[in-house]
Structure 1
Amino acid sequence: MGFIKRNRPAHPKQPLKSSLKENFDEVKRRLGNSSDIITREIQIGKSGKIMAGLIYTDGLADKKSIQDFIMESLMINVKESHPNMKISQHFLSNLKEIAITIGDVKEINDFNTLFNEILSGNTVILVDGFSQGFSAGTKGWEDRGVTEPSSTTVVRGPRDGFSETLGTNTSLIRRRIKDPNLWLETKEIGRVTKTSVGIMYIKGIVNDKVVEEVHRRLDRIEIDGILESGYIEELIQDETYTPFPTIFHSERPDVIAAGLLEGRVAILVDGTPFVLLVPAVFMQFYQAAEDYYQRADIGTLLRFLRFVAFFIALTAPSLYIAITTFHQEMLPTTLLISLAAQREGVPFPAFIEALLMEVSFEILREAGVRMPRAVGQAVSIVGALVIGTAAVEAGIVSAAMVIIVSITAIASFVFPSFNMAISIRILRFLLMGLSASFGLFGITVGLIALVLHLSSLRSFGVPYMTPFAPFILADNKDAMFRLPIWGMFSRPRLINQKNIIREDMPPTQKPEPRQRQKNN
């Protein structure tokens, strides 16, 4: 998709003309007489001495608002006998202040601004004899509404999720954070799409240098179109070759609100329900919103289960290959005899056997995602069972290998973040190659290289492995395990370098001691 701009010249600003007919003709010419661009001439006031024109886009503008708050006001309610409504140089400003009852009104002086307004869902009002106009906020397109997010489900917690409308997404965050310090800055990115991108943060908690860095990276984007937040994520992430995501995204408003309270910056893109959150650290991708809605001990247990699943998904096939190929003495005799009996008729070495099964399962997983939802899940499950059973009966792979690959595939679904699961799936094949070449020594070298690589990453200036490298004892209260809510009274120190102590959670706020009931 060719969206990258390559020295494309900018359109010069063409001022509006004083003739209403000439303005209408220019709009129709520039937009190719598109049938969804509505131009309407009306007569202002009951006497109809003044001609005006309305321009809006069918499907993007709310017709009821145009009818009730613009056309009715201009055609019926405006009285030329009013002393401020005489034709003069101040007529437009008086018309805007007296007649237009819509709150969002902007002045327009050139055609570039006019096209931007009408293609954003607003209505442009022009008056014959004036080379200026103004737009009224009448955005009213159909959207999906607020529904439960499909990518992140919880047993306990809110069920609302972001939608594809920027205004809806910002309102969902403001419902949770009713603070005047929650600031929103909006800019347009994309020379053709002119996509609205919002930057939201809490002033006084966020690190100002992070906000400046976000603005700098967004301002240097030169591209024709932004269709999803993935475009922004790829263009502003730290320039490091890594399979790991360095920008967090979610379609849950509670997750984004929690990140803002920690001092992070949210980047909202119009047209997508996925909101970006920076800076991001490694531990963030293994934390689920439900960890904080359960008790601390339950949340800690679930978090440990995710790390166990992380090591299984990363190393299970490579450990099986290394042990069965180079280190058979590590296995009990009974198990070794059983595995030898299973592999008696298998014509491939353990690495090729594991590679065949892993690739087959990855193809089935991708097919299940791309197929229609009604049959995709059934096809992936049935296909895995049929292929696994048939491969064992045909003597192509051993039964133990099917078990290992199945456990690995299930463990990769435990991760709350889908993009982190993809990274682990990529690294799994690298470790399989090292184990087939050097055994456990190759796996050890691969894991050491992985730790060194993770320690070298940064996300908007913050070390990726915070709070482990560098080690910050105070921030480990919400890392491998989770302390009770009353114990998490400080914000992450490297993300938020001011306002460390949460004002709403003093360290002395602990549960009241149990009171013994006295018998009367």
Structure 2
Amino acid sequence: MFHLLSRLFQRKKASASGGSLPEFSLKLSKRVVENLSTIQDMLQSPSDLIVRQFHVGKSKHLCGIACIDGLVDKSVINDTIMQNVMLGVAQADKDAPPFVTADKLLDRLHTDIIPVDDIAVATSWDDIMLAVFNGDTALFVDGTSRVLLIGTRGWASRGVEEPQTEALVRGPRDGFTENIRTNTVHLRRRIRDPNLRLDSMHVGRRGKRQVIIAYMAGITAPDLVDEVKRRIDSIDIDDVEGSGYVEQWIMDSFLTPFPLIQTTERPDKCSAAILGGRVAILVDGDPFALIAPITLASMFQSPEDYYSHWLIATFLRVLRLASAFAATFLPALYIALVEYHQGMIPSKLAFSIAGTREGVPFPAVIEAFIMEGTLEILREAGIRLPKPIGQTIGIVGGLVIGEAAVSAGIVSPIMVIVVAITAISSFALPSYAFAITLRIIRFGIMLAASLFGLYGIILSYIMINIHIVNLKSFGIPYSTPFSPTFIKDWVDLIWRAPVTLLGRRPQMMQTTDETRIRKK
């Protein structure tokens, strides 16, 4: 313990004494040659760095550009920047006296000559290097320490495809991609409201990863937005390689297996959450968006619920709730009844189970752990293998191993049925992270059932509920709207009321505008 505390103190001391990554302390020169040389020295002249010098106008004014090959669209650089700069300055020299100062030349390039909408003026190396690494081109003019940053982003990216982890029978087929600008376009297409805010931040001392916080001004609680920004601003690591880093850093508790932030690949689900008063977080290079805050009830809801009739949606939600209980408690219930409470089983069923278990050398708890462990291994192997092979391994492997285990007398046929129902029930849940949580909890409940029978299951259920009511997601209790109780929010809980009755946003979100449907 003393060693751990001393290491922690040394780490804090190093951080306080300047352990963070220093910013570029160099000043911009007025000489193009010196500035281009500085970029080459910073990057150690990499093979993908494009540096070009050229002269413009009658006065042969020296200019230079710097960009990263592969991040830029070369056609924009050649046709839009280089050609327009050379021809535009030459034409301007014919119509008027040559440009006297470099600042005037740069201003003319900025306002009149370069036909690009994404263009800005920078005066520091920090802004220049961040823009260059984002795919922009830096244009230097000899004689001024100001630099033009021109939007030339054009790297290869994956096209819009249907989400693989959240497939629907009825609903939109488009999904988020790794390009954050494509993802913001998805939100803009669905929410055509000027109050949609897409606030940008850069996270990571070295990676400078772009993170966008999406919310609705006039609907989302300002305190929630400020808290999300504060937590993201506190991230102090080299790089945020994906949304998982952000999720783990800003979640309220890392000691719980329950997901406190929802992930989604679906733009329609993300936009619906934003209109409901929540905040969405997009990370550049990751096709998953984060939604916060969430509650336990969010784990049983799917976008398809709102595309279907309300009776169908309600039935599906009840089915998911029953599946969650089966995926969590069914193996433990089998263990408790077989090992401790045989008198609670109907006589004919008890004789049938006893007959199938005849010759099995292991108690029910060992049976369950063997089969559940094998199933988890098969499931993980199916995910990691190529898709056609993975599906074959999952189906054929489960059938072959189950049949072989029964034939060898290692497990009983009823145990195979229980494990199969449990696995199918876990697949019925729309949230992958929540399904994994139930799979983890299941093993603990099985162990409690093997020790105390039904009493162990009841105690486990009570402990899970105590844990849930103590969880919070950005200040919202995880058990809301059950506890604390918001009766008005029950119209879209397990029972999904008709759309015409969903006239108010969730009361628990404390939105500044609760009205969703304005009746005439």
TM-score range relative to shorter protein? over 0.9
Correspondent of 1:320 among 325, 334, 340: 334
Distance (whole Å) between structure 2 residues aligned to residue 256 and residue 184 of structure 1? 13
Contact 2:486 2:508 in 1 (8 A): no
Correspondent of 2:84 among 73, 76, 79: 73
Secondary structure of the residue aligned to 1:409 is: helix
Q: Structure 2: which amino acid aligns with 1:496?
A: Q
Q: Which residue pairs with 2:7 in the alignment?
A: none
Distance (whole Å) between structure 2 residues aligned to residue 38 and residue 276 of structure 1? 36
Instruction: Give matches, 1:117-136, under 5 Å.
Output: 117-136=131-150
Q: CA deviation at 1:163?
A: 0.6
Gaps of 5+ in 2: 1-11
Structure with more of its chain in helix, by fraction? 2
Q: CA deviation at 1:110?
A: 2.7
Q: Structure 2: which amino acid aligns with 1:54?
A: I
The farther-off stretch of 436-445 and 82-91 is: 82-91
Write out per-residue CA displacement over residues 86-123 of structure 1, whole angstroms, 9 at most, x where no aligned residue. Answer: 13243322221121111111222232322211111001
Secondary structure of the residue aligned to 1:494 is: helix
State yes or no: 1:185 paired with 2:188: no
Instruction: Give matches, 1:453-468, under 5 Å.
Output: 453-468=467-482
Closer, same or farther in 2 for the Cα pair 1:182/1:85, shift >3 Å? farther
Contact 1:267 1:276 in 2 (8 A): yes
Instruction: Give matches, 1:298-337, under 5 Å.
Output: 298-337=312-351
TM-score norm. by structure 2 comes to: 0.94
The farther-off stretch of 338-347 and 294-303 is: 338-347
Secondary structure of the residue aligned to 1:80 is: helix
Q: Which residue pairs with 1:152 in the alignment?
A: 166
Q: CA deviation at 1:82?
A: 4.8
Q: Structure 1: which amino acid aligns with 2:219?
A: I
Correspondent of 2:44 among 32, 35, 50: 32
Q: Structure 2: which amino acid aligns with 1:335?
A: L
State yes or no: 1:377 paired with 2:396: no
Write out per-residue CA displacement over residues 166-223 of structure 1, whole angstroms, 9 at most, x where no aligned residue. Answer: 1110110110110000011101001111100001110000000000100110111101
Distance (whole Å) between structure 2 residues aligned to residue 487 and residue 53 of structure 1? 62
Q: Structure 2: which amino acid aligns with 1:64?
A: S
Write out per-residue CA displacement over residues 397-439 of structure 1, whole angstroms, 9 at most, x where no aligned residue. Answer: 1110011001101110011110000000000001001100000
Distance (whole Å) between structure 2 residues aligned to residue 386 and residue 48 of structure 1? 82
Q: Which residue pairs with 1:514 in the alignment?
A: none
Closer, same or farther in 2 for the Cα pair 1:130/1:461, shift >3 Å? same
Q: Structure 2: which amino acid aligns with 1:50?
A: H
State yes or no: 1:94 paired with 2:108: yes
Contact 1:85 1:91 in 2 (8 A): no
Distance (whole Å) between structure 2 residues aligned to residue 144 and residue 497 of structure 1? 36
Q: CA deviation at 1:8?
A: 2.8
State yes or no: 1:109 paired with 2:151: no
Q: Structure 1: which amino acid aligns with 2:72?
A: A
Cα RMSD of the aligned pairs, angstroms, is 1.5
Contact 2:314 2:495 in 1 (8 A): yes
State yes or no: 1:41 paired with 2:53: yes
Distance (whole Å) between structure 2 residues aligned to residue 9 and residue 354 of structure 1? 52
Q: Which residue pairs with 1:161 in the alignment?
A: 175
Instruction: Give matches, 1:174-213, under 5 Å.
Output: 174-213=188-227
Q: CA deviation at 1:84?
A: 8.0
Q: Structure 2: which amino acid aligns with 1:39?
A: V
Q: Structure 2: which amino acid aligns with 1:274?
A: F
State yes or no: 1:56 paired with 2:67: yes
The farther-off stretch of 190-199 and 66-75 is: 66-75
Q: Structure 2: which amino acid aligns with 1:87?
A: V
Contact 1:262 1:496 in 2 (8 A): no
Distance (whole Å) between structure 1 residues aligned to residue 56 and residue 147 of structure 2? 14
Distance (whole Å) between structure 2 residues aligned to residue 475 and residue 87 of structure 1? 68
